[in-house]
Amino acid sequence: MTLYGIDLPVMRNPSSLTTYRTSVNLKDLDDDGEDFIYSRASGELNKSLEDIVGDLPYDIKLRLRAMGNVYEISGEIHSGMNLPCSRCGREMILPVDEQFNEIIIVMDERPRAGHSGHTGSQFDNGPYCNYVTSHDFSLSDFVHEHIAAAEPYQVHCSRPDCEEVYKKAQISDTSSPKESNPFEVLKNLSVTSKRS
């Protein structure tokens, strides 16, 4: 499917869809691992992703498997985000095409005041490590965070007239409004005090 010149994922036939869980207990994974496939048509993540992808189509494939006392999650996310261009301010659809291979490590929660807390870390040419404190893992939150992290700091629409629209907006913005004193309204204020 093409929208605004951007290829978006094609939704699968709703009659042939399987419903997948959106959270999983990592201890209960099959020995061979499990696959999770989500789309707009299957609907499991529609509510979870509503604030970030709106009503745009998405196609998500996850593979989760145990590797000793850690877990591997890999897959791909294809969707889009409706964002304003940071130059001209017009709405645009930013395609999201993410592939990932990450490790989930379940460990006891560390004291917050100490210096021994862990956060995720990326090894050179290796998987990203997620440190979690529970075997209950939310796939919907995981996908949401991946899509949110794909949003660039500044989005540019690359339309041919983007720079022209930006310059016009800058020129019209330079006309300074009449300066006013916010305390001017207090001149006409009369205070009558009634003390008992």
pLDDT computed for residue 118 by the predictor? 44
Residue 144 DSSP code: H
- Across the range 149-154, mean pLDDT stands at 90
Give me the half-sphere count of Cα atoms (radius 13 Å) on the Cβ side of residue 111. Answer: 3
Q: What is the mean pLDDT of the chain?
A: 80
pLDDT tens for 20-70 read: 889 999 999 988 999 999 999 999 999 999 999 999 999 999 999 999 889
The DSSP-derived string for 17-48 is -----SEEEGGG--TT-EEEEEETTT-TTHHH
Question: Does residue 175 sit within a domain?
Answer: no
pLDDT computed for residue 116 by the predictor? 42
Question: Which residues span the domain enclosing 49?
Answer: 2-102+135-162
Question: How many independent structural domains does the chain possess?
Answer: 1
Question: Does residue 122 sit within a domain?
Answer: no
Residue 15 DSSP code: G
